[in-house]
Amino acid sequence: MMDLAKGKGAALIAGRVTTINKADGQVTGVTYIDNETKQPTTISATDVVLCAGAWSSSLVPELPMSSTRAHSIVIYAKEDVELSPYVLFTEIMLPSGETVTPEIYGRTNGEVYVCGPGDDSPLPATVDEVEVHKPACQILWDSVTGISEQLREGTLEFEQACYLPLLDVSSGPVIGELSKVARRLWVATGHSCWGICNAPGTARILRNSIMGSNIPRAASSLGPSKVLPGMSDD
């Protein structure tokens, strides 16, 4: 997708944004730490789109957000195993008597993604500092391999963790212009675990909003003035 965007004239700058710059109530750009030079750099912009997930409130403190850490593993089945591209929402009783509820996502390329419930581990300063709790991944492996010979004979490729962005005041997400913070500052966050599913629709809402096009009527209920207290434009 990035290659397609570059083909249309977009440029990718890798860095960590530290400040959203504003003047006279409107965004003017961002300041970021460049990944290569490690130096602060400022870039001008007429519009800024904030899609920093659980870290969004570190740049815009007005966003009432929290987070939860979720673990997942990726298993590759043997080449002769045919997987159906379905999702299983399970309830599995372990030998200890404990009931666990991993979600199992099968993919036709032989990959199986398994995720579990979240925990209350504090949000680190950056995504690079996210720690994987090995016992949580072991529980996922034990759970799904205990009910599937095909998965038990597969290869555990990845053990990983991420932080899900949660809005403290609604079930989220919030998508639209944060005009009470700064004009032309756009936000899309608070999707919890459904961001990957809602990404195309979220992108369409933002594109239409920024370009001044009509947005679907249902999307208006996701705007900051509808979701967040104190953000009303009235």
CATH of residue 180's domain is 3.50.50.60
Tell me the C-alpha distance between 176 and 158, whole Å.
35
Domain ends where: 148, 167, 186? 167
As a whole-number percent, the residues of the chain with pLDDT over 90 amount to 80
Query: For the segment 4-19, what is each residue's pLDDT rounded down to a tens digit?
Result: 999 999 999 999 999 9
As a whole-number percent, the residues of the chain with pLDDT over 70 amount to 99
Residues 100 and 139 sit within 8 Å (Cβ to Cβ): yes
Tell me the C-alpha distance between 92 and 72, whole Å.
16
58 shares its domain with 97:
no
187 domain-assigned: yes
234 domain-assigned: no
pTM of the complete model:
0.88
Strands in the chain per DSSP E: 15-23, 26-34, 40-44, 48-50, 65-76, 87-89, 92-93, 99-100, 103-106, 111-119, 155-167, 174-177, 185-189
Q: What is the largest CA-CA distance in the chain?
A: 63
**Peptide linkage before 173 cis (omega within 30 of 0):** yes
**CA nearest to 176, candidates 137, 215, 149:** 215
Domain ends where: 117, 152, 167? 167
129 shares its domain with 87:
yes
Tell me the C-alpha distance between 205 and 189, whole Å.
13
Q: Which domain holds residue 91?
A: 67-167
Tell me, what DSSP letter sits at residue 170?
S
Query: For the segment 162-180, what is each residue's pLDDT rounded down to a tens digit?
Result: 999 999 988 879 999 999 9
What does DSSP say about strands 185-189 and 48-50: parallel, antiparallel, or unpaired? parallel
**pLDDT at 108 (0 to 100):** 84
Tell me: pLDDT of 215 over 90: no
pLDDT-wise least confident of 49-63, 125-139, 216-230: 216-230
Q: Two tokens at 38?
A: 């490690």
Query: For the segment 19-71, what is each residue's pLDDT rounded down to a tens digit?
Result: 999 999 999 999 999 999 999 999 999 999 999 999 999 999 999 999 999 99
Amino acid at 140: L
Residues 133 and 120 sit within 8 Å (Cβ to Cβ): no
Taking all residues of the chain, what is their mean pLDDT, rounded to a whole number? Answer: 93
232 domain-assigned: no
**pLDDT at 38 (0 to 100):** 95
86 shares its domain with 20:
no
Q: Give me the mean pLDDT over the 189-204 stretch.
A: 92
Overall domain count for the chain = 2
Ranked by mean pLDDT, the top range of 88-97, 149-158, 222-231 is 149-158
